[in-house]
């Protein structure tokens, strides 16, 4: 019997038929059965549906309609002027888009301003670690997350990785900024625009014969895929910091998690899938992230681009071999082998022996007057320099795509 696809079911039987058919088809296609309980989420309850079969019921039909109506170029032009969280939406947006964005820009009722302020303290003291981990742990890990690597490669952003990385880096920068979720910050704007981009990719990628030939799904970027990516960021970062024995006060650890919980909500992830604690995050990551890591041809290309870009960003100070050694140090021999990263005896040994003492010295200086501020200024300079290079000194504009990777023919 020909395997059921979501698209075929929708065409044949409508939404009710799709629900029933997907319930039958999911176990055969899923790599792991969804067992994580929504009682461990920030919502504390939920229906418990496997997020592999859940997308974005608000944004997806809206953005598909914008693309089909030909409204996207005008919308992108208007949204370039919307840059601050507290800024009014531009006049002239289609009414349905405006209504959605007004809802999407609201912080969840459970957002805690006290915790978000404490998260700023954490980011100020550990900005260097976060920059290294976001780039060389989370960033490189994304290339061995098969669905993510293929979605990136075959979508429009895959053809210009410098531009694509600048937009991803902006999200990481904005969530760690001192005013991230404040009216003069930009994280809410970045999250809402990213949510619109994800919806566009869900509409466009299924039209790509190249993506369809290698994908094991009909629609990309499910809620489960988004949680996989989420775990490659805060969950992986905190696991590494703990492994390095960085002394983090409990309140700051909780606050860092909270900032990413709010970020997940703003990106359109349902509250019932967002872990409430680090223990729940680790448990969910063990189910959805760890087992699915694997090499792909697309991921190998992307990883090579990332390593080459990284060496250019740092003005040649961090060469590709050094960045490769950092990747091996962060992610281990197996992933480094998948990505064909050569061993660097000098740098591999140096990182293993010197990183721990470096952390001890850096942490030992934190109690001294003005040390956190000095760390922050230095780390902020590095982050802004990287963004300046990636954006080619132009404003980073997150825009809704209307095509897949150039050269592909929609079917």
Q: Would residue 232 count as lying in a domain? A: yes
Q: Would residue 6 count as lying in a domain? A: no
Per-residue pLDDT at 221? 97
Label residue 308 by pLDDT band (50, 70, 90): confident
Question: What are 124's two structure tokens?
Answer: 């100020």
The predicted-structure confidence for 175-226, as pLDDT tens digits, reads as follows 988 999 999 999 999 999 999 999 999 999 999 999 999 999 999 999 999 9
Q: Calculate the CA 65 to chain-centre distance.
A: 25
Count how many domains the chain has: 1
Per-residue pLDDT at 362? 74
Per-residue pLDDT at 172? 85
Label residue 131 by pLDDT band (50, 70, 90): confident
Per-residue pLDDT at 39? 97
Label residue 369 by pLDDT band (50, 70, 90): low
Average confidence (pLDDT) over 249-266:
98
H/E segment holding residue 3? none
Label residue 310 by pLDDT band (50, 70, 90): low
Burial class (CB in 10 A: 0-12, 13-18, 19+), 137: buried
Rounded CA-CA distance 187/83 in Å is 9
- The Cα diameter of the chain in Å comes to 70
The predicted-structure confidence for 142-186, as pLDDT tens digits, reads as follows 999 999 999 999 999 888 877 777 777 888 889 988 999 999 999
Per-residue pLDDT at 20? 31
**Enclosing domain of residue 129:** 58-390
Q: How far is CA 251 from CA 114, 122, 238, 255, 283, in A?
A: 10, 9, 14, 6, 21
Count of other CB atoms within 10 angstroms of residue 209: 12
Per-residue pLDDT at 95? 98
Q: Would residue 3 count as lying in a domain? A: no
Q: Phi/psi at 112 (nearest 5 deg)?
A: -110, 110
| pLDDT above 90: residue 317 | no
Rounded CA-CA distance 323/313 in Å is 11
Mean pLDDT of the chain: 84
Q: Would residue 195 count as lying in a domain? A: yes
Label residue 335 by pLDDT band (50, 70, 90): very high
Q: How far is CA 356 from CA 22, 116, 345, 361, in A?
A: 49, 29, 18, 9
Q: Would residue 37 count as lying in a domain? A: no
Beta-carbon contacts of 139 under 8 Å, excluding residues fewer than 6 positions away, are 165, 168, 306
| pLDDT above 50: residue 74 | yes
Least reliable range by pLDDT among 20-24, 92-96, 278-282: 20-24
Q: Would residue 36 count as lying in a domain? A: no
Q: What is the pTM of this model?
A: 0.85
SS3 content of the chain, % helix, strand, coil (to 5): 65, 0, 30
Per-residue pLDDT at 358? 78
Q: Would residue 32 count as lying in a domain? A: no
Rounded CA-CA distance 228/219 in Å is 16
Q: Would residue 252 count as lying in a domain? A: yes
């Amino acid at each position: 019997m020909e395997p059921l696809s979501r698209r075929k079911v929708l065409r044949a039987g409508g939404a009710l038929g799709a629900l029933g058919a997907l319930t039958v088809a999911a176990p055969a296609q899923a790599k792991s059965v969804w067992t994580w309980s929504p009682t461990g989420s920030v919502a504390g309850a939920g229906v418990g549906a496997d997020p592999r079969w859940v997308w974005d019921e608000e944004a997806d039909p809206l953005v598909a309609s914008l693309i089909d109506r030909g409204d996207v170029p005008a919308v992108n032009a208007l949204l370039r002027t919307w840059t601050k969280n507290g800024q009014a939406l531009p006049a002239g947006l289609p009414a349905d888009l405006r209504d959605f964005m007004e809802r999407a820009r609201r912080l969840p009722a459970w957002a805690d301003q006290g915790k978000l302020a404490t998260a700023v303290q954490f980011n100020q003291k550990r900005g260097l670690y976060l920059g290294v981990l976001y780039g060389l742990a989370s960033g490189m890990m994304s290339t061995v997350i098969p669905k993510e690597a293929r979605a990136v490669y075959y979508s429009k952003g895959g053809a210009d990785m410098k531009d694509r990385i600048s937009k991803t880096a902006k999200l990481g920068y904005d969530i760690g900024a001192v005013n991230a979720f404040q009216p003069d910050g930009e994280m809410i704007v970045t999250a809402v625009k990213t949510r619109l981009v994800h919806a566009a990719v869900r509409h466009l990628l299924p039209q790509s014969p190249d993506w369809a030939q290698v994908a094991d799904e009909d629609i990309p970027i499910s809620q489960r895929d988004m949680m996989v990516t989420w775990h490659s960021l805060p969950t992986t970062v905190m696991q590494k910091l703990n492994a390095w024995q960085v002394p983090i006060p409990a309140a700051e650890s909780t606050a860092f998690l909270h900032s990413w919980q709010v970020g997940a909500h703003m990106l359109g992830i349902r509250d019932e899938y967002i872990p409430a604690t680090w223990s729940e995050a680790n448990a969910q990551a063990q189910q959805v992230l760890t087992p699915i890591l694997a090499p792909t041809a697309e991921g190998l290309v992307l990883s090579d681009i990332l390593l080459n870009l990284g060496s250019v960003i740092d003005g040649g100070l961090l060469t590709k071999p050094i960045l490769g050694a950092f990747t091996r140090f962060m992610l281990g021999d197996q992933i480094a082998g998948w990505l064909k990263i050569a061993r660097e005896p000098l740098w591999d040994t140096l990182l293993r022996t010197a990183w721990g003492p470096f952390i001890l010295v850096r942490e030992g200086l934190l109690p001294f007057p003005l040390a956190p501020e000095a760390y922050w200024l230095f780390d902020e300079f590095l982050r802004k320099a990287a963004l300046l290079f990636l954006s080619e000194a132009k404003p980073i504009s997150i825009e809704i795509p209307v095509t897949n990777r150039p050269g592909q023919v929609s079917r």
